Amino acid sequence: MDFVDARRKSQFPRKILLAAGFITLFIFVFKNSPSFSGGSGKFSQHEPGVTHVLVTGGAGYIGSHATLRLLKDSYRVTIVDNLSRGNLGAVKVLQELFPEPGRLQFIYADLGDAAAVDKIFSGNAFDAVMHFAAVAYVGESTAEPLRYYHNITSNTLLLVKAMAAHGVKTLIYSSTCATYGEPEKMPITEDTPQVPINPYGKAKKMAEDIILDFSKTSDMAVMILRYFNVIGSDPDGRLGEAPRPELREQGRISGACFDAARGIIPGLKVRGTDYKTSDGTCIRDYIDVTDLIDAHVKALAHATPGKVGIYNVGTGKGSSVKEFVEACKKATGVDIKVEYLARRPGDYAEVFSDPSKVNRELGWSAKYNLQDSLSIAWKWQKAHRNGYSN
Ligand SMILES: NC(=O)c1ccc[n+]([C@@H]2O[C@H](COP(=O)([O-])OP(=O)(O)OC[C@H]3O[C@@H](n4cnc5c(N)ncnc54)[C@H](O)[C@@H]3O)[C@@H](O)[C@H]2O)c1
């Protein structure tokens, strides 16, 4: 009895804290939901000299870094995110950095909800859209293809329809090198045939096709950026990559390396050592998130009504998984244990970009190398063992 009472007593403050946490979250989400009528109203009007960008998926890894850069560059930003994968903590960091009225608003909504999306476009005066929101794991897409076609292809169709209906004429679309599949010739140029080999790549290619076909009938300014493998984080340590713990198995190599270095997982699982590459492991082109976002800002500046720009955004240099692991060991100072396993379904051997088009036309090139990116990202990871809940 005493034991039960003591346990009840010790859980009491925890429950109060938990309840307070939920109430705070509720107020935060409610205040920022489309139906909440508070705020400055600046978001609902176009303002000369101010470009208002809708950032879908802005609570996520790349979208939050994009929001930070846009705000730093004096854009007005509305984030729409359903928090299925992103972090409210990232949005809070951004709101604390830019608290002034009319700078940043967060709207909790699902892009698959046509009525909610229409309401968002009715109530806000957007000048451009950066569409990041998506589920984005190759392995998961082979296990749950319908989810991917719905979340990526169908939601993009809905978003483009809303843009057309509300006269929003600039779209920067997050595409991927996964739309190319496994081309025979490297490096990959924008003219390399797109033959995706997994539902993720196929869903993204279909979304591109929808955008391209629509653009032929409108004067929309479209920029499609096909990213390679994104790594790194804000060099000033304000934002980082914090996928949900349940996504660790699906996860990307950088997250797994850091988790292994922190002892959260026992070691690193490298899937596939018999690929036709120099050391048998997959080769990827790792692009730093700060560089990637710089390409978005340049794409926005170059977006032209009635024109489409398609660009590979990568470094042009491939690194093998083994090389990546060595760089990660150096960045973290930890001798990470590595386990070699069979191939993962849906993976391809070698992918790296030819970034000469984006260099030439947008004046963009990658500045960070693999080692620098991992060292910067490790600083944030070390300081945020529990992601944004720290
Ligand atoms: N990370 C990479 O290496 C990489 C490479 C190529 C392309 N991309 C593309 O970049 C984009 C961003 O990827 P990321 O790595 O930041 O992923 P992420 O999971 O960190 O962020 C995606 C965000 O979208 C939100 N979201 C998902 N479905 C939504 C919906 N239906 N409604 C509203 N919000 C929704 C999630 O909650 C999350 O905040 C994706 O489109 C992805 O396909 C990423």
Full DSSP string of 100-137: STTTEEEEE--TT-HHHHHHHHHH---SEEEE------
Answer left, alpha or beta for residue 80, where phi above 0 means left and psi between -120 and 50 means alpha. Answer: beta
Alpha-carbon torsion angle 178, 223, 355, 374, nearest 10: -70
Q: Residue 45 has which token pair?
A: 């009007």
pTM, two decimal places = 0.91
Q: Residue 73 has which token pair?
A: 């560059």
222 near 308, Cβ under 8 Å? yes
Answer whether 134 contacts ligand 1 (Cβ < 6 A): yes
pLDDT tens-place string over residues 247-305? 877 778 889 999 999 998 999 989 999 999 999 999 999 999 999 999 999 999 999 99
Phi, psi values for residue 72, rounded to 5°: -60, -35
Q: How far is the CA of 13 from the centre of ligand 1 (A)?
A: 36
Q: How far is the CA of 207 from the centre of ligand 1 (A)?
A: 14
List, in order, residues 6 or more apart from 69 with CB less than 8 Å away.
290, 293, 294, 296, 297
Query: What is the crossing angle of helices 199-216 and 155-165, to 10°?
Result: 20
pLDDT tens-place string over residues 141-171? 999 999 999 999 999 999 999 999 999 999 9
Answer whether 133 contacts ligand 1 (Cβ < 6 A): yes
Answer whether 281 contacts ligand 1 (Cβ < 6 A): no
Atom nearest to 111 CA in ligand 1:
32
Answer whether 278 contacts ligand 1 (Cβ < 6 A): no
Q: How far is the CA of 218 from the centre of ligand 1 (A)?
A: 27
Domain annotation for the chain: domains and CATH numbers:
41-389 (3.40.50.720)
Residue of 68, 81, 233 best suited for mutating to test ligand 1, as the one with most atoms within 8 Å of CB: 81
Atom nearest to 84 CA in ligand 1:
37
Q: How far is the CA of 135 from the centre of ligand 1 (A)?
A: 5
Answer whether 62 contacts ligand 1 (Cβ < 6 A): yes
* Greatest alpha-carbon span in the chain: 75
Q: How far is the CA of 261 from the centre of ligand 1 (A)?
A: 25
Answer whether 227 contacts ligand 1 (Cβ < 6 A): yes
Catalytic site includes residue 180: no
Catalytic residue among 75, 137, 200, 227: 200
pLDDT tens-place string over residues 220-257? 999 999 999 999 999 999 999 999 888 877 778 889 99
Q: Residue 152 has which token pair?
A: 């990526």
Q: What is the spatial distance between Cα 388 and Cα 390, in angstroms, rounded to a whole number? A: 5
What's the pLDDT at 13? 52
Residue 320 has pLDDT above 80, yes or no: yes
